[in-house]
């Protein structure tokens, strides 16, 4: 049996990667020109700046593919729930610390929901995207992870993409919420006899998606979303968030009123009283 020399194999791999980079850039430029032609002049110019940022992300990802594959091959194959790891990093404050408001069975509930909501093909795709993000960050602590994400605009865009695709499961909000609550309630009842109700849903939804609300107010971000996901996407996101974050938005409005009229001492008293309610203090539990 004849084996191809290692140097020849490496050369062929480099040629394939190079061709892939070139083709990716060509397709990206075509998409940019098509989208830009659909915008009014002032928006087209604004999107041109966004396109430059996105192109840099595409080029960087292509360049990092060989190194990423080497790192992935060295990973423990038993640790493969990357999408779950990324999602749980947003909600971990709810079940960690001295006074958790939810039990850790929330983790398994979220895992079952993600697999049910997306099906095996889409789940594997999102899992692969989360894998790339976590591999790049290489951080175990959740708080530190999100500090890194917020400091790196390129990674933040990738993370937002993952969470937006999850958010779209709630486009028909009533049905999406019903499915989410049903799966998590059943799972948490089985594992820890814990009832997952309206208050718990609001807490988890806020933890997952509240950061996106501020981004709906930024013109460049809305243009970026419309380019990546299709025209009208930014409005779809805002509509879903308005429904899912209704309680959170009311609290934000109330907080602004408090800041202008309520003393800091009273606010501290309210926070202390809430903290003293103890573990699993959110209502609607057994």
Report yes or no: 228 and 222 within 8 Å, Cβ to Cβ: no
Selection from 191, 198, 252, 204 nearest residue 101 by Cα: 204
pTM beyond 0.85, yes or no? no
Report yes or no: 280 and 106 within 8 Å, Cβ to Cβ: no
| Percent of the chain clearing pLDDT 90 (strictly above) | 41
Q: How does residue 253 score in pLDDT terms, banded at 50, 70 and 90?
A: confident
At 198-227, the pLDDT tens digits run: 999 999 999 999 999 999 999 988 988 898
pLDDT, residue 78, reads: 43
Q: How does residue 156 score in pLDDT terms, banded at 50, 70 and 90?
A: confident
pLDDT, residue 51, reads: 62
Token look-up 């083709």 returns 23
Q: What is the CA radius of gyration of the chain?
A: 22
In whole angstroms, give the CA distance from residue 218 to residue 159.
Answer: 17
Q: 27 or 235: whose pLDDT is higher? A: 235
pLDDT, residue 77, reads: 44
Half-sphere exposure of 259 (CA within 13 A, CB side): 6
In whole angstroms, give the CA distance from residue 202 to residue 102.
Answer: 12
Least confident of 42-46, 156-160, 232-236, 250-254: 42-46
DSSP three-state, residue 199: helix
Mean pLDDT of the region 261-279 = 51
Handedness of CA 112, 117, 120, 123 (dihedral sign): negative
pLDDT, residue 116, reads: 92
Strands (E), the chain: none
Selection from 134, 41, 116, 122 nearest residue 80 by Cα: 134
Report yes or no: 210 and 248 within 8 Å, Cβ to Cβ: yes
> How does the average pLDDT of the chain come out, rounded?
77
DSSP three-state, residue 65: helix
Q: Which two tokens stand for residue 103?
A: 């039990």
Q: Which two tokens stand for residue 203?
A: 């807490």
The residues, any chain, with a CB within 8 Å of residue 193's CB and separated by 6 or more, are 286
Report yes or no: 83 and 127 within 8 Å, Cβ to Cβ: yes
pLDDT, residue 176, reads: 96
| Percent of the chain clearing pLDDT 70 (strictly above) | 61
Q: How does residue 97 score in pLDDT terms, banded at 50, 70 and 90?
A: confident
Residue 266 has pLDDT above 90, yes or no: no
DSSP 257: H
Q: Which two tokens stand for residue 118?
A: 């997306």
Q: How open is the CA angle 197-242-283, to the nearest 5 degrees?
A: 20
Handedness of CA 117, 123, 125, 126 (dihedral sign): positive
Mean pLDDT of the region 265-272 = 52
């Amino acid at each position: 049996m004849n084996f191809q020399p290692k140097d020849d194999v490496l050369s062929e791999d480099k040629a394939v990667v190079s061709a892939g980079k070139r083709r990716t850039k060509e397709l990206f430029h075509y998409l940019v020109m098509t989208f830009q032609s659909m915008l009014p002049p002032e928006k087209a110019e604004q999107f041109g700046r966004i396109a430059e940022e996105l192109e840099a992300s595409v080029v960087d990802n292509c360049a990092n593919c060989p190194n990423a594959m080497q790192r992935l091959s060295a990973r423990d194959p038993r640790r493969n729930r990357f999408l779950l790891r990324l999602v749980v990093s947003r909600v971990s404050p709810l079940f960690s610390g001295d006074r958790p408001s939810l039990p850790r069975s929330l983790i398994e509930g979220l895992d079952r929901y993600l697999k049910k909501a997306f099906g095996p093909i889409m789940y594997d795709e999102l899992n692969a995207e989360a894998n790339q993000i976590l591999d790049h960050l290489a951080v175990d602590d959740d708080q530190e992870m999100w500090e890194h994400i917020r400091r790196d605009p390129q990674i933040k865009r990738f993370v937002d993409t993952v969470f937006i695709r999850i958010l779209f499961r709630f486009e028909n909000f009533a049905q999406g919420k019903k499915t989410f609550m049903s799966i998590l309630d059943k799972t948490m009842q089985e594992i820890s006899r814990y009832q997952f109700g309206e208050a718990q849903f609001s807490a988890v939804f806020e933890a997952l998606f509240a950061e996106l609300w501020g981004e709906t107010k930024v013109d460049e971000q809305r243009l970026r979303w419309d380019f990546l996901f299709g025209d009208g996407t930014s409005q779809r996101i805002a509509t879903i968030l308005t429904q899912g974050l209704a309680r959170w938005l009311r609290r934000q409005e109330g907080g602004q009123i408090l800041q202008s009229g309520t003393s800091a001492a009273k606010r501290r008293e309210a926070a202390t009283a809430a903290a003293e309610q103890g573990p699993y203090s959110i209502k609607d539990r057994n």
